[in-house]
Amino acid sequence: MTKPEWRRREFLEKCIVRGGLIAGVPMTANQLFGFWQKAEAAARKPTAPEVLGPFFKKGAPDNRDMRVAGEPGMLLQVSGAIVDTRGNAVPGARIDMWHADHKGIYDVHGSRYRTKLAIESGATYEVKTIMPGHYPDRPAQHIHYLITAPGCKPLVTQLYFATDPFFEGDPDKNRGKRGVVSHRESIRPVTLLDEASTPHAAVSFDLVLESA
Ligand SMILES: [Fe+2]
């Protein structure tokens, strides 16, 4: 069977021969093919959407450290890039994040474990919080997201944790239990760190937005 790479190359060469593809600067066919491959490699799959859920509240403050003094829970650092499907940085995003406390209870009256980040410069985000608890209706730990950004479609998604006991050490096998997690890529690896005798978990979760 012909490799997809060669089918693409044949397609590209036909475009060049027929004048359907013109480089802005003089390039050989090989250079053009390399250019094409590089552009494809940078492409990103959009972050998988999830439901908004019943606990979203408008008006959260921009809080980069959601920890609450005196409340238990493992420190969790979540960070990532905000990019489009071409891999380009997307500045100017607004990111609502909200999750349950260590007991699995949402604050429906105030703003505990809620934030709305205003990313004024750059295209990355980082927050400190605690690892969310479990609750009966959604027995996997998760953080909800609502992201808006100029020129992009709004995205509602959720982040899950590969270390969650719910997955019994095997997210690939167990993510579908009770229909909780729709997309495997929403379950992120967790790095456990012990800096200055403060154990904490760190997770990277990039937000890949589709153009509007
Ligand atoms: Fe939830």
Task: Check pLDDT > 60 for residue 171.
Answer: yes
Asked if pLDDT for residue 148 goes beyond 90, the answer is yes
Report the separation in Å between the CA atom of 14 and the middle of ligand 1, taken as the mean of its atom positions.
51
Q: How far is the CA of 191 from the centre of ligand 1 (A)?
A: 22
d(CA 41, CA 86): 9
> Does 85 score more than 70 pLDDT?
yes
Predicted local confidence at residue 5, as pLDDT: 61
d(Cα 65, Cα 126) in Å, to the nearest integer?
9
Half-sphere exposure of 112 (CA within 13 A, CB side): 16
What are the residues facing 201 on neighbouring strands?
Answer: 76, 192
- Token readout for 52 is 């908004």
Secondary structure of residue 23 in the 3-state scheme? coil
Q: What is the pLDDT of residues 64-74, one digit of tens each?
A: 999 999 999 99
The rounded Å distance from CA 84 to ligand 1 centre is: 26
Å from CA of 140 to ligand 1 middle: 9
Establish how many alpha carbons lie within 13 A of residue 161's alpha carbon, considering only the half-sphere containing its beta carbon. 24
Domains of the chain: 4-42 (no CATH), 75-209 (2.60.130.10)
Summarised one tens digit per residue, pLDDT across range 8-27 is 677 767 766 776 666 677 77
Question: Considering the entire predicted model, what is its pTM?
Answer: 0.83
